[in-house]
Amino acid sequence: MVWTENVVPIGLFVNKNRLVVFLTSYISRNVGVGVPGYYPITCEIEVYELSDIRSPKLVRNITLEGYYFNARMIEEYVYLVTTSPIYYIDDEIILPSITVNGESLSIDPKEVYYTNAPDVSYTFTTIVALNTFQDNEPIAKKTILTGAASNMYVSLNNIYLAITKYNFITENARTSFEETLLYRISIKGNSINFEAEGTVPGHVLNQFSMDEYNGYFRIATTLGYPWLRGMGSSESNSIYVLGMDLKVVGKLENLAKGEKIYSARFMGERAYIVTFKKVDPFFVIDLSDVRNPKVLGWLKIPGYSDYLHPLGNDYVIGIGKETVEAEEGDFAWYQGLKISLFNVKNVSAPKEISKYVIGERGTDSPILRDHRALLFDGERGFMAIPVMVAMIDRNKYSGAVPPYAYGEPVWQGLYVFNLTIEHGILLRGKITHLSQNISEGISGDDYTKFIERAIYIGDYLYTISNKIVKVNDISTLKEVGSIKIG
């Protein structure tokens, strides 16, 4: 598959013998002499049939005007969400267009759902349902006039859109300055229906700060930003439980004042929340009584977790940064990458039972921003993450190294761990695509060989960068082979 220069692949799904690829591209459209053109971005869905894996066959192409926002696959259906800014030209609002296999489908203004929440930055949010196995089944579509969507959570039956909205600040109305608008859209096959809308205070971090469980929607938010402290603002955190009508039925507010949420995870009748300012409070929260959420226990340790991953019912993996408290203020300096294993069996007294720190300040990993960078198999006790390691040259300092000092990149590749309850987090080995040490400096070619993802198939571990796919034995990590892909 080869695309033109202005087309960029941004994601894919594979289901049996079907491949779904998402693409984005820029187009220019002339709207008349003397009128500035506008440059809408398009999002494309290409569906390929993979009976002959060496020669994928394109069987369907859908083009939507707008930005790719997010997508999910549930059984044979793909649900794509796009957002498109409002173009108002010559007293006419330009509605987003959809093309299916070259045939244009119009969106009638009467089909657009108008919400009750006014916004200063209206956006057309379009949801499309596509059967990836029945090529002749028409797509379903629904367009909503909303603010710009910031996060999305999807259950088997619903799409929840979260939109952060900012209002004017008044002396006695800080809580209403920042709120999250919520929209529930039901999905079943190619049926899409707008069901409910609601509001909670604060902003939501990401999809893991939301969840649907037993007919209720749960969401964790942070209210306030550090740059508002001069206006009397201080961060606080809350959990809200809403019914399917998106009306609040229970809440736990003012959690960890002065801090903000760095990660969250809902697991059944519990929620795990990490907030941070100087140390990492790891909270265990009981949601069994939907009307009265409560804190069961907490743990305060250095560092914080940007991502939480469940390990059974009684353990949680946290991946983030180690920290050192600052002497010059009420904050902490982040350091190297930190992996923690928490025991939450005793909910009133959670414990960090194992930790592993990689590198020093400046060390980075895509897992801090994208959970898909984690490769984990609890049954095998196997975990792997790509890491760019930074280390500090202590020869540059006459005395102690200050905690704010950044290290220089020295290595990039995949860290492979054994992770078990009995033995904790143990390094098994490392894999890299780089042929030389990068401590002398990073070239443009080096960046293309940074490992971004890893997968395993059977007994083989595959690492993927923009230039190379390498295969290693999953038990010994011995290299089996590699190919260049770019």
Has residue 233 been placed in a domain?
A: yes
Q: How confident is the model at residue 34 (pLDDT cuts 50, 70, 90)?
A: very low
Does residue 9 sit in the same domain as residue 30?
yes
pTM score above 0.85: yes
Q: Where are the beta strands (DSSP E) in 302-445?
A: 304-311, 315-325, 332-343, 351-358, 375-377, 382-391, 408-420, 424-431
413: left (phi over 0), alpha (psi -120 to 50) or beta: left
Pair 392, 335: CB distance under 8 Å? no
pLDDT tens-digit series, residues 456-474:
999 999 999 999 999 999 9
Has residue 378 been placed in a domain?
A: no
Has residue 64 been placed in a domain?
A: yes
Per-residue confidence (pLDDT) for residue 345, from 0 to 100 = 96
210-213 β-sheet, strand order: 210-213, 216-223, 236-242, 248-255
pLDDT at 233 over 70: no
Q: How confident is the model at residue 480 (pLDDT cuts 50, 70, 90)?
A: very high
Provide CB contacts within 8 A for 51, sequence distance 6+: 17, 57
Pair 10, 21: CB distance under 8 Å? no
Does residue 122 sit in the same domain as residue 177?
no
* Domain stops at, among 215, 245, 269: 269
Does residue 5 sit in the same domain as residue 142?
yes
Pair 126, 141: CB distance under 8 Å? yes
The structural domain count of the chain equals: 2
* Domain stops at, among 269, 291, 323: 269
Does residue 166 sit in the same domain as residue 135?
no
* Domain stops at, among 219, 237, 269: 269
Per-residue confidence (pLDDT) for residue 4, from 0 to 100 = 72
For the chain, what is the mean pLDDT?
Answer: 91
Q: For residue 151, give the 3-state DSSP assignment.
A: strand
CA-to-CA distance for 221 and 392, rounded, in angstroms?
36
Q: Where are the beta strands (DSSP E) in 17-174?
A: 18-26, 41-49, 57-65, 67-74, 77-85, 87-89, 92-94, 98-100, 103-105, 112-114, 123-131, 140-146, 151-154, 158-166
CA-to-CA distance for 331 and 374, rounded, in angstroms?
29
Q: Which domain holds residue 32?
A: 1-147
Has residue 349 been placed in a domain?
A: no
CA-to-CA distance for 95 and 72, rounded, in angstroms?
24
Has residue 209 been placed in a domain?
A: yes
- Find, among 136, 147, 12, the residue nearest to 71 by Cα: 12
Has residue 81 been placed in a domain?
A: yes
Q: What share of the chain in percent tops pLDDT 70?
A: 92
Does residue 139 sit in the same domain as residue 201?
no
Q: How confident is the model at residue 32 (pLDDT cuts 50, 70, 90)?
A: low
Provide CB contacts within 8 A for 383, sequence distance 6+: 317, 374, 375, 376, 377, 416, 417, 418, 419, 425
Does residue 21 sit in the same domain as residue 61?
yes
Q: For residue 12, give the 3-state DSSP assignment.
A: strand
Element (DSSP H or E) covering residue 207: none
Does residue 160 sit in the same domain as residue 240?
yes
Does residue 48 sit in the same domain as residue 69?
yes
Has residue 477 been placed in a domain?
A: no
Does residue 31 sit in the same domain as residue 135?
yes
Does residue 143 sit in the same domain as residue 9?
yes
Q: How confident is the model at residue 27 (pLDDT cuts 50, 70, 90)?
A: low
Residue range 226-242: mean pLDDT, rounded = 73
Has residue 336 been placed in a domain?
A: no
Burial of 350 (0-12, 13-18, 19+ CB in 10 A): buried
Does residue 119 sit in the same domain as residue 172?
no
pLDDT tens-digit series, residues 158-214:
999 999 988 765 555 555 578 999 999 999 999 999 999 999 999 999 999 999 999
Q: What single letter denotes the amino acid at residue 285?
A: I
Provide CB contacts within 8 A for 33, sequence distance 6+: none
Does residue 110 sit in the same domain as residue 154?
no
